[in-house]
Amino acid sequence: MFVSNIEVMEEVSLDQRAHISVMPQEVMHWLRVRPGSVVVDGTLGLAGHSILIAEALGSQGHLIGIDKDKTSLTEAKKRLASCSLRVDLLEGSFGDVERFLAEVKIKAVDGVLLDLGISSFQLDDETRGFSFLKDGPLDMRMDQSKGLTAADLVNTLKEEELVRIIEEYGEDRLARRIAKAIVWRRAEERILTTGQLAKIVLRSLPASYQRGRIHPATRTFQALRIVVNQELEYLKDALTHWFEALNPQGRMCVIAFHSLEDRIVKQTFKALAEDGRGQILTKKPLEPTQAECQVNARSRSAKLRVIERVS
């Protein structure tokens, strides 16, 4: 089990709003972008990786950038404005492979990058409700136009369901205590802010937990974020569909930030390799160098896996 992206956030300065792209050199090496080819960045964010990809694609290339988050797409658009190649920026979940290909009227691509999770830009914005370090509305939706918020979940789910979520997606042994505290507290008042929830979790745990390496609310916040954004539900299918959209010798790079999503990437790649269609290029996942971790604490939990389409 490795630490999650959120788990290292106490080390990140609070005014660090810009996102530092994770493992940029490794991504560019393994994605092997050829000038004039077609590359999909399925988790565009602030286009940190995409700017590098655009440079490598050259003016004859085609970059397709996808994100669920409207604000990130708007920022990314500004950052890519001076690029001379064809750029299509699309809003939605990267799982909608067929829809996106139809929208840009192509059948196959040469490279796909998925840098999973959320960006520092989202994490550090207290109005988005991802962070337990700043008080804000308990939202956590990447796509703020639809779906249930984290507040909806903590105020309505049955205690047993809260236990399951915190245990399964937060991998927290003390899920039962936390769920009980949430249910007890919400009988008094609705839990509407990140600060309220962080305090409830903190108070529900033994003092020894409060001296641990990670903030006691880390796992609960991770669990809720995964459920709110259905982060794991479509991952396997999305990976398979993007792989199937690759041209022969096309490559897919995926960066995961917690063990649950990394396990899905590993198993999906294994299945694609076993049926002879793919070759895994990273026997073990690549991790950021120590130097990168020092500059960008959030990169610490990253695992990069790469697969190439054989036929």
Q: Which pairs count as long-range contacts for 260-265, CB under 8 Å and 24+ apart, including other chains? A: 260/169, 260/171, 260/226, 260/232, 261/116, 261/117, 261/231, 261/232, 261/235, 262/2, 262/303, 262/305, 264/232, 264/235, 264/236, 264/239, 265/235, 265/239, 265/303, 265/305
CA dist 20 and 224 (Å) reads 24
DSSP class per residue in 48-91? HHHHHHHHHH-TT-EEEEEES-HHHHHHHHHHHTT--SEEEEEE
> In this complex, which beta carbon is closest to ligand SAM, that of residue 295 or of residue 310?
295
φ, ψ dihedrals at 34, nearest 5°: -100, 140
Q: What phi, psi does 61 have (nearest 5°)?
A: -80, 175
- According to CB under 6 A, which one of 30, 94, 130, 242 is a site residue for ligand SAM? 94
72 binding ligand SAM? (CB under 6 A): yes
Contact between 68 and ligand SAM by CB under 6 A: the answer reads yes
The answer to whether the CB of 219 falls within 8 A of the CB of 170 is yes
- List the beta bridge partners of residue 304: 255, 286
Answer for which of 7, 26, 67, 292 binds ligand SAM (CB under 6 A) is 67
Q: Does 261 bind ligand SAM (CB under 6 A)?
A: no
Q: Which of 26, 37, 63, 93 binds ligand SAM (CB under 6 A)?
A: 93
The answer to whether residue 21 forms part of the interface with ligand SAM (CB under 6 A) is yes
Nearer to ligand SAM, 144 or 279 (CB): 144
Contact with ligand SAM (CB under 6 A): which of 26, 110, 115, 167?
115
Asked if residue 193 binds ligand SAM (CB under 6 A), the reply is no
Report the nearest approach of ligand SAM to the CB of residue 46 (Å): 4
Site string for ligand SAM, 23-52 (x = CB under 6 A): --------------------x-xxxxx---
Give the residue with the Cβ less far from ligand SAM, 185 or 251: 251
Span near ligand SAM by CB under 6 A; candidates 9-17, 31-39, 88-96, 189-197: 88-96
Query: Using CB under 6 A as the criterion, which residues of the chain lie in contact with ligand SAM when the complex forms?
Result: 19, 21, 43, 45-49, 66-69, 72, 93-95, 115, 117-119, 142
